[in-house]
Amino acid sequence: MAKIEIYILVLGSICFDFLIGDPNYLLHPVQIVGFWINKFSKTYLRYLKGRNSHLLGGLFLLISTLSLSYFVGKYLELKFFHSGGNLFWGIIILIGISSCLASKSLISSVLEISHLIEDESLDKNSNQNIIDKVQRLVSRDVSSFSKENLMRSATESLTENSVDGIFGPLFWIFIGAFCLNHSIYLPGPLSLGFSYKALSTLDSMVGYKYEPFKYIGLFSAKLEDIVTYIPCRVVVLTLPFVSTKISNYFNIIQKTFSDGRKYESPNSGFSQAIFAYIVNIKLGGENKYQEKIILKPLINYKGNKCNRDSIMHICNLIIRLELLWFVVFSFIFLI
């Protein structure tokens, strides 16, 4: 496959995601994967009990979901190559890679929430609408949250999902482009993009530490942590370059790693911390999970409260960083 064709597919997919996002009239691959995960996990949990059974079922769920996602992506890549770069297959791959990214959908949804929260004219019904929108972004229970905590929850979701939904898949899409340029039989941007997205969907649906998903989602959660580890650190190390805090680079990185290590998750604390220190906001605190109150470590405890301006600042940083990553990828890929 010609290098320029691979490059155009990656470039086109990023532009498609920026401009159009996930059109409602197209069936999203996550919907298919999510349907399979939901049906299998519910059926399995209903009929089979016990730690070992759940671990075995979770391993099968992980392998089957990743295999399906990878081989569908690889099949489409090979169809495009063997067709001599047919436009139809090219468009399918471009839209497929774009579906692995969530720049427009994530940014627009969080910006909408921030505008609604700071709208003083909202009534009680509108407030419930905000709660519902935030709840779709996070796993914690936000039904009794104040507007301040709803804003914090939306901000934390934005910082975490910027890695899981944008930079994580983008990293592996770039890796796939380099591999495909070497050989068409190696993993490509679509096959790796589909695989990462499927793994992320597994983690979000069954990767919890409480019952009934404690064991059936264990392998998925651990593998998602592993494949997101490097992209997350690359985000931490590169985000200051698109901010005004570049002169304070080493101090910010030091504080980010210091606060990021406080979280049990090997990635979420770091992704939250780098944005918190650059935007100067305070994250962490009280959260509710299944009727239990959990106090998460504070990040940048001297920072300001989250507000609409800080969310807009984070969104701008995400867009700038994505552009920086693509420029660096272009330079390395095309030389």
Indicate left, alpha or beta for 54 from its phi (over 0: left) and psi (-120 to 50: alpha): alpha
Tokens 């774009």, residue located: 98
Distances from the Cα of 106 to the Cαs of 17, 154, 160, in angstroms? 11, 10, 11
The neighbour count for residue 146, using CB atoms within 10 Å, is 9
| Whole-angstrom distance, CA of residue 147 vs CA of residue 149 | 5
Instruction: Specify whether the CB–CB gap between 234 and 166 falls below 8 A.
Output: no
**Half-sphere exposure of residue 58: CA atoms within 13 angstroms, side-chain side:** 26
What per-residue confidence (pLDDT) applies to 330? Answer: 97
Backbone angles phi, psi at 286, to 5 degrees: -80, 130
pLDDT along the chain (335 residues), means of 10: 89 95 83 95 90 94 97 97 93 96 95 87 70 88 87 95 97 98 96 98 89 91 97 98 96 97 93 98 88 88 96 98 98 93
Q: Which pLDDT tens digit goes with each residue over 204-227?
A: 999 887 788 889 999 999 999 999
What per-residue confidence (pLDDT) applies to 250? Answer: 97
Hey, what are 161's tokens? Answer: 């999902």
Residue 207 gets which letter from DSSP? -
Backbone angles phi, psi at 287, to 5 degrees: -135, 155
Rounded to 10 deg, the angle between the 168-182 and 218-238 helix axes is 90
Q: What residue ranges do the domains of the chain occupy?
A: 3-334
| Whole-angstrom distance, CA of residue 236 vs CA of residue 275 | 8
Hey, what are 246's tokens? Answer: 């570049």
Please, is 50 exposed, middle or buried when counting C-beta atoms within 10 Å of its C-beta (0-12, 13-18, 19+)?
Answer: exposed
Would you list the DSSP string of 214-230? TTTTHHHHHHHHHHHHH
Hey, what are 94's tokens? Answer: 């471009």
What per-residue confidence (pLDDT) applies to 128? Answer: 83
Instruction: Specify whether the CB–CB gap between 165 and 101 falls below 8 A.
Output: yes
Instruction: Specify whether the CB–CB gap between 298 and 282 falls below 8 A.
Output: yes
| Whole-angstrom distance, CA of residue 61 vs CA of residue 41 | 8
What per-residue confidence (pLDDT) applies to 147? Answer: 86
What per-residue confidence (pLDDT) applies to 122? Answer: 60
Instruction: Specify whether the CB–CB gap between 104 and 131 falls below 8 A.
Output: no
CA 309 to chain centroid? 22
Residue 86 gets which letter from DSSP? -
What per-residue confidence (pLDDT) applies to 232? Answer: 98
